[in-house]
Amino acid sequence: MNRPLERGQPCPHGPVSSNSRTRLFAPLSLAFLAATLFASAVEIPSTPQHPVTNVYHGTVVVDDYIWLENFSDPAVKKWNQAQNKFSRAYLDKLPARALVADRLKKLYTASSANYFDLQYRQGTLFAMKFKPPEQQPWLVALKSPDDIATERVVLDPNQLNPKGTTAIDFVVPSLDGRRVAVSLSENGSEDGTLFVYDVETGKPLPDRIPRVQYPTGGGSAVWNADGTGIYYTRYPNPGERPPADLHFYQQVYFHPLGTPVGEDRYEFGRDLPRIAEIELDSSRDGRYVLATVANGDGGEYAVYRHGPDGQWQQITRFQDQVKHGEFGPDDALFLLSCQDAPHGKILRLPASATALADAEVVVPESAAVIKGFCPSASGIFVQDLVGGPSQIRFFNLADRSQRLVPVKPISAVQQLVWTEGDLLLFRNISYVEPFVWMAFDPATGQSRPTALAGTSPADFSDVEVLREFATSKDGTQVPMNIIRRKGTKLNGKNPTLLYGYGGYGISLSPNFSVARRVWLDQGGVYVVANLRGGGEFGEEWHKAGNLTKKQNVFDDFIACAEWLTRNGYTRPKQFATEGASNGGLLMGAALTQRPDLFRAVVSHVGIYDSLRTELEPNGAFNVTEFGTVKDPEQFRALYAYSPYHRIRDGTRYPAVLLLTGDNDGRVNPFHSRKMAARLQAANRSKHPIFLRTTSAAGHGFGTALDVRIAEEADVFAFLFDQLGMKYKTSSQPDQDATQ
């Protein structure tokens, strides 16, 4: 499950803003002087080479750094500490670093509260809330989205653990809203245990269910109809399977409240694949439970339904291309299908029906790509993607009419929540405006803002968003969203940061981040590329960038970079790229295939050794997205682009900052260790290669605010230094870029 660090927010920099007007800056000459002094005074840590030879389908592959995969080896820990010391010696002496960190902290604190992951239960709205300077989001309950005065705290992990290292993985309120099941994990590990809390008092019940959540297959839970028990996903307990399988073979169990967890009843899953990922849901009356089972991360799903008879029935198979299911108010099952409809269509299966053949099409395929949907009393709300930005359509099931729901222009719809009747709440956000939860009633046809709305202490009125297209190697038109200040001069001298992902059918839709103000204030241009491998144009767009076609993603990204230089936005010495997770793989491919295009590369928690990824627990889930070395054709594709194996001795590489966390259960940190060692040995440019690790984080989810700020300050300072940007806290536009 290598997902972006934060769903709906591709840039890892969190919400910050610009309110400081003091003209403090690090002159360009000092930045270059600092880099020069560093290069002459600090030596790169030495890395021994211990060659290991593997043969894949007749191809001999020699790996000098397999020994760095074993983090339990004291020599690896010592090497890792030396690398961190090397990186800190550079980062801590950058003139901008302390100023940026101070600014980020102040601007985070000035940001408004963020409300997300809303759930409705019988007149009560449950929401996750985050407001710096708190370290972690917490759970609140409200009676109305229009009256924040009704808000009360249900569970605050900042109170459970003042260190800020305890995080909420997921929350499931009971159907009557009286209790809530919460998965909690530590230090960004996503290794969650399920607890139960009373909503009225906030006090915990004695129930404690371990092994519910892990980064490999995720985790899920759902209540029964009367709130006396919980269906939940569970990984094998030690002794039930070999140690190598303890984070696989996810199954569903049922826990009656107040009983020993060892007596929980097995429900479902013994016959599922080793890499199954189960998501649970229920009908609003609790009579039916839905299990949507992913076959790893490649986009194949099977749907199972549990009914009043207590039996589980398989409704769809992996090959049926059904992606998602939800119950309507009459317990009918609505299904998103891509069968003969790569942009998606929605089917309705009556509660009495048991076969997919009995389903009828209620929303046919169109030019828009269906991202999600939400049934209501008389119709269905459909969340569409139009190449990246969103739209919402409402379909009346009685007369089959449809209408568009008003949303912000060039914006993203991040969640749909049905409350009562045909009333809808949806979270709307754009590149230049923070989130707002909107309310829509088909009876009026109007969308209106609720009290759950963000405010930004940073002013983006001087910023514009342009949508441009680059032509990829095979002629495919690839969209880019260019975020720049109005009046930016296309003279080839703008520091430019290009972000990409391109995988798992995940779409990089518009999102708001006040941290971009920090970049824009230094004369920077920020660009988000909608690459193949994502879902911006449907399942065909995804399939054109996975398995043996993964190189298309890298070609798309390179085409976007070439377009930006060719059209006067920037030049290689002022060009940087950034990506995370699967986007880290993209960064590795871009810097090894076209090191001449970029001056600096920032890569978070990336995948770099494509031949050994599947040996890790989470790597096995990625086989359906990337392929396996066991298949000759897929091996050839993997080996052809694997960043670690494409590094060439004597090459002049750009400056690289590799970031990872010790507790990452999605992408093993050994990828970053090996990539850093190999790049340092091969690089013949004067640009530095850094590895930055932290013991207080994992893949990015659940990371404490202070840890995030420290990371963001390092990234900004690194980019400012490497691109020759003088840092100033004033938001006055850079004269060279706008005149």
**pLDDT, tens only, 713-732:** 999 999 999 999 988 875 44
Residues 104-140: pLDDT tens digits? 888 888 889 999 999 999 999 999 999 988 889 999 9
469-500: pLDDT as tens digits: 999 999 999 999 999 999 999 999 999 999 99
Task: Encode pLDDT of 297-337 as tens digits.
Answer: 888 999 999 999 999 999 999 999 999 999 999 999 999 99
Over residues 58-64, the mean pLDDT reads 97
pLDDT over 60 (residue 4): no
**What pLDDT shows up at residue 134?**
87
Q: Tell me which amino acid residue 563 is.
A: W
Q: pLDDT at residue 16 above 50? A: no
CA nearest to 648, candidates 605, 594, 582? 594
**Per DSSP, which regions of 491-619 are E strands?**
496-499, 525-529, 575-580, 600-604
Q: Is the pLDDT of residue 40 over 90?
A: no
Token reading at 612: 């050994």
- CA distances to 291, 491, 560, 571, 573 from 567, rounded to whole Å, are 49, 9, 11, 10, 15
Closest listed residue to residue 4, CA positions, set 699, 723, 731? 699
At residue 19, does pLDDT exceed 50? no
Distance CA 278, CA 295 (A): 9
Q: What percent of the chain has pLDDT over 70?
A: 93
| pLDDT score at 14 | 30
Per-residue pLDDT at 21 exceeds 90:
no
3-state helix, strand, coil in the chain (%, to 5): 25, 35, 40
689 closest CA partner among 603, 612, 561, 610: 603
CA distance 319 to 540: 15
What integer pLDDT is reported at residue 699 of this predicted model? Answer: 79
Asked if pLDDT for residue 639 goes beyond 90, the answer is yes
**Tokens, residue 182:** 């919460």
Q: Which of 581, 603, 642, 731 is catalytic?
A: 581
* Strand, coil or helix: 194: strand
pLDDT tens digit sequence for 160-215:
998 899 999 999 999 999 999 999 999 888 899 999 999 999 999 999 999 999 98
Among 13, 255, 343, 699, the active-site one is: 699
Give the per-residue SS3 of 95-120.
CCHHHHHHHHHHHHHHCCCEEEEEEE
Buried b (16+ CB within 10 A) or exposed e, 199-221: beebeeeebebebbbbbbbbbbb
3-state secondary structure of 54: strand
Determine contact, residues 675/164, Cβ cutoff 8 Å.
no
**Would you tell me how many other CB atoms lie within 10 Å of the CB of residue 466?**
12
Backbone angles phi, psi at 705, to 5 degrees: -55, -45
- If DSSP codes are grouped into helix, strand and coil, which group holds residue 736? helix
Give me the pLDDT at residue 188, please. 86
Q: How far apart are CA 118 and CA 342, in angstroms?
A: 29
Phi-psi region of 568 (alpha: psi -120 to 50; beta: other; left: phi over 0): left
Q: Is 581 marked active-site? A: yes
When pLDDT is cut at 50, 70 and 90, the band that residue 30 belongs to is: very low
Please report, for the chain, the start and end positions of each structural domain, with discontinuous segments joined by +: 25-107+458-738, 368-455
pTM (2 d.p.): 0.86
In Å, what is the CA distance from 29 to each residue of 33, 36, 41, 597, 713? Answer: 6, 10, 18, 24, 20
Q: Determine the Cα angle at 136 with ends 717 and 518, to 5°.
A: 25
The length of the chain, given as a count of residues: 739
* More confident: 115 or 11: 115
Quick one: pLDDT at residue 216? 84
pLDDT of residue 103: 87
Are 9 and 430 within 8 A, CB to CB?
no
Q: Quick one: CATH architecture of 25-107+458-738?
A: 3-Layer(aba) Sandwich (3.40)
Which amino acid does the sequence have at 686? K
Helix or strand or coil: residue 53?
strand
- What is the CA 59 to chain-centroid distance, rounded? 35
More reliable by pLDDT, 409 or 99: 99
Q: Please count the helices (runs of H) and the strands (runs of E) in the chain.
A: 15, 40
For residue 41, the model assigns a pLDDT of 54
pLDDT above 90 covers what percent of the chain? 80
Angle of helix 705-722 relative to helix 97-110, nearest 10 degrees, comes to: 130
Q: Are 663 and 187 in contact (CB under 8 A)?
A: yes
Mean pLDDT of 414-423: 94
pLDDT on residue 1: 44
pLDDT of residue 547: 96
Torsion 313-315-320-325 (CA) sign: negative
What residue ranges in 581-632 does DSSP mark as E strands?
Answer: 600-604
Asked, as a colleague might, if the bond just before 133 is cis with ω within 30 of 0, I would say yes
- For helices 74-91 and 670-682, the axis angle rounded to 10 degrees is 70
Average pLDDT of the residues in 238-254: 95
**How many CB atoms within 10 Å of residue 306?**
22
CB count within 10 Å of CB 130 equals 17
